[in-house]
């Protein structure tokens, strides 16, 4: 790893290696902390000091690979340059700074008042090398950087990226605010899919393109065939009516000729029924997505529960990874 460590080995009067003492800096002690029992074992079984040193070197390489990068002291210019950059940027834009001045979180508000954070992880060569930037975006965020750049340049690129994603977040916010989203439960800003409730045990999974949020998204219907098939037919027949000038949600309503259950009128429990096998709604983060096709039954199940149930029935038959069997409720 290209690192140097100073170590001192004190041998007893009888020069027995197994009773030797190892002295080192606190840095090295910290790295080898979890390996002390192995070191003692090696001291006991190594025939001579040279072979012990070879083993210590191997052990140290493993330990270094497994520990987080240790705090490398940074040159004074790093701190003076960073503090100057923060002064120019303005402390009101800083949400967090760690004690070593190596990780900084900046906050920004887009033109719609949404709050966003960008996390910068700076290396010791800043500003010659750019920091790593972590953002909650549905697309990749790459910064252009020159050695003479500063934090304000990153911040401006961040603001520009926020504006380029404005329409995407507008579309997603409208879906989140006006419909019942079954999954994901607490969507992040980077999430591009929403599973929207249509009615009892019927939902549509939409995958929105963040670059073209006003175009027709990928739609996948979940529910019993007799309910889902008419929706598929409507979507295919009305596809030509899609209008990029109106909102994504309004387009979906027009194409499917439906109104999505409203958050204002209905509770989630009105259409989000529990699984008929485990009697829970959420199972390992998933919601019931398999529904009995019989119109008089329509009971929903988690895929995992249903698969396990059908596997245990002698009447079920399996073809590759698809299993066919009777509904646990109505035996159809």
The C-alpha atoms of residue 208 and residue 215 are separated, in whole angstroms, by 8
Reply yes or no on whether the pLDDT at 216 is more than 90: yes
More confident residue, 68 or 136: 136
pLDDT digits (tens, 9 = 90+) for 269-311: 666 678 888 888 888 878 788 888 777 887 888 889 998 888 8
d(CA 328, CA 277): 8
Which domains occur in the chain, in start order? 7-69 (no CATH), 76-164 (3.10.110.10), 179-272 (3.10.110.20), 274-331 (3.30.40.10)
Q: Mean pLDDT across the stretch 260-272?
A: 73
105-140 pLDDT, tens digit each: 999 999 999 999 999 999 888 989 999 999 999 999
* Mean pLDDT calculated for residue range 187-192: 95
- Percent of all residues in the chain with a pLDDT value above 70, rounded to a whole number: 96
Q: How confident is the model at residue 262 (pLDDT cuts 50, 70, 90)?
A: confident
Burial class (CB in 10 A: 0-12, 13-18, 19+), 149: middle
pLDDT score, position 22: 87
pLDDT of residue 233: 96
Confidence bin at 93 (pLDDT 50/70/90): very high
Q: Which residues have CB under 8 Å from 292's CB, separation 6+?
A: 224, 298, 299, 300, 301, 327, 329, 330, 332
Q: What is the pLDDT of residue 43?
A: 85
**Cα gap 63→129, rounded to integer Å:** 27
pTM listed for this prediction: 0.67
Give the separation between CA 269 and CA 267, rounded to whole angstroms.
Answer: 5
pLDDT of 71 higher than 70: no
């Amino acid at each position: 790893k290209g690192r140097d460590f100073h170590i001192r080995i004190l041998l007893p009067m009888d020069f027995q290696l197994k009773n030797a003492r190892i002295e080192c800096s606190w840095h090295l002690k910290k790295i080898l902390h979890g390996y002390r029992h192995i070191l003692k074992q090696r001291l006991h079984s190594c025939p001579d000091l040279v072979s012990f040193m070879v083993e210590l070197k191997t052990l140290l390489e493993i330990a270094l690979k497994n520990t987080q990068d240790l705090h490398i002291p940074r040159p004074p210019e790093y701190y003076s340059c960073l503090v100057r950059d923060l002064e120019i940027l303005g402390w009101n834009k800083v949400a967090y700074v760690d004690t070593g001045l190596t990780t900084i979180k900046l906050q920004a508000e887009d033109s719609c008042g949404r709050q966003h954070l960008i996390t910068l992880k700076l290396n010791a060569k800043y500003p010659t090398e750019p920091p790593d930037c972590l953002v909650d975006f549905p697309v990749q965020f790459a910064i252009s950087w020159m050695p003479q750049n500063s934090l304000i340049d990153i911040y401006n690129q961040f603001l520009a990226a926020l504006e380029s994603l404005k329409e995407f977040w507008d579309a997603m916010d409208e879906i989140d605010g006006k419909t019942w989203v079954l999954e994901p439960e607490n969507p992040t800003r980077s999430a591009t899919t929403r599973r929207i409730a249509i009615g009892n045990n019927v939902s549509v999974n939409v995958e929105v393109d963040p670059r073209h949020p006003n175009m027709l998204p990928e739609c996948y219907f979940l529910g019993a065939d007799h309910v889902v098939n008419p929706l598929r037919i409507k979507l295919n027949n009305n596809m030509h009516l899609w209008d990029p000038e109106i909102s994504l949600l309004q387009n979906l309503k027009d194409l499917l000729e439906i109104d999505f259950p409203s958050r204002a009128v209905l509770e989630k429990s009105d259409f989000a029924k529990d699984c008929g096998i485990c009697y829970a709604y959420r199972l390992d983060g998933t919601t019931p997505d398999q529904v009995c096709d019989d119109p008089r039954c329509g009971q929903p199940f988690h895929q995992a529960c249903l698969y396990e149930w059908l596997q245990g029935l002698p009447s079920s038959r399996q073809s590759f990874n698809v299993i066919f069997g009777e509904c646990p409720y109505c035996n159809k």
